[in-house]
Structure 1
Amino acid sequence: MARMQNERNLQVTFSKRRDGVFKKATELSTLCGADVVVVVFSLSKKPYSCGHPSVESIMNRFLVENPPTDIDAPNPIVIAHQNANTDEINTKLNRLEIPFEREKKYGEALQSSRKELPIEKLSSFDFKNLCKALEVADEAIERVLSIKKECGFEFPYQTIGSAFTPLRVTKHSSSDSYERPSGSNE
């Protein structure tokens, strides 16, 4: 690091860095409950200070033997920095709440539009009806595909075998439930 040569850039950087140091001092005071004072002098020897609970009360601890008893008086500079920080956080929170509410409403709309139970909670009767509905939907897809093929519609992809035929399950005579055939001999 080296000292800046341009006076204008030096003053701008001083102002920005000074505010950053004051903000950090305020955060340290707020988070840790510490009494903090920061005094900075500009190039023109002008003093800038920030402190909590107040610059005067903390400086008096070092300069005077009997400090004043009112050390808990709020410092307007500290309060201004705290309010600025709070406003910044509130602005960010408000910006995040709008898309969150939109997504929450979208999720609620999806949940309310769902009419069937999850497949794990279906009764055997409902499961049979679902299978029949899927077969009917599959037949409708097959009809649309055959009509499109007759009209000369070319599919942009190749199908292997009968990709549009429904999954057929075997029905065992021992019960009315549908089971997948297994490869084990149990």
Structure 2
Amino acid sequence: MAGRRTPRRRRVEMKQVENEEDKLITFSKRRSGIYKKASELVTLCGSEVGVAIFSPSGKPYSFAHPSIDSIATRFRNRNHPQNVGANNLVESYRRLRIDELNQQHDELVDQINDDKARGKTLKQMTEERDGEGWWEAPIEELSLEELKQMKARMVELRRNLQGSITIRNQGAPSSEGETSNQRNNPSATIA
């Protein structure tokens, strides 16, 4: 078997789309691609970008960073910078805030990944202990907190067993091998 050929990406000839429905679909796809590229320019280069597009039906669409107003103002007044100091101050604060938010985002993503890894570990431990009960856990491997939880569970189990024995002893006739001390004191049977 020579190997399977996968279809390659074809180069589409640039020409006017005639079908109106196809024209709208193509416009929608191309518009999102242009927005994506503009966004990449902003992210990678820190540039200010403004894109204005009109759909085949005449509806305007725009993408701008930091805003369409600031881009348009800067474009119109490129020879006459006004309030450069104030704009620089606002822009510096905005970039600082974006950096802080990006850092918070990265920290949260790291925390989520750590939690997912911990969840996988816990799931794996649970699956490994599938046949074991909580009382069969290796005591040497448990932390102090886990040992305290295990002790509390055992105390609760003992209390439940004593209650069940008391109820059964009160409702059932006494068995021949049972002493009067065991009948009257259920804790004597559980040490």
**Range of TM-score over shorter length:** 0.3 to 0.5
The structure whose RCO (Cα within 8 Å, separation 6+) is larger is 1
| TM-score (normalizing by structure 2) | 0.38
Give the helix-richer structure, 1 or 2: 2
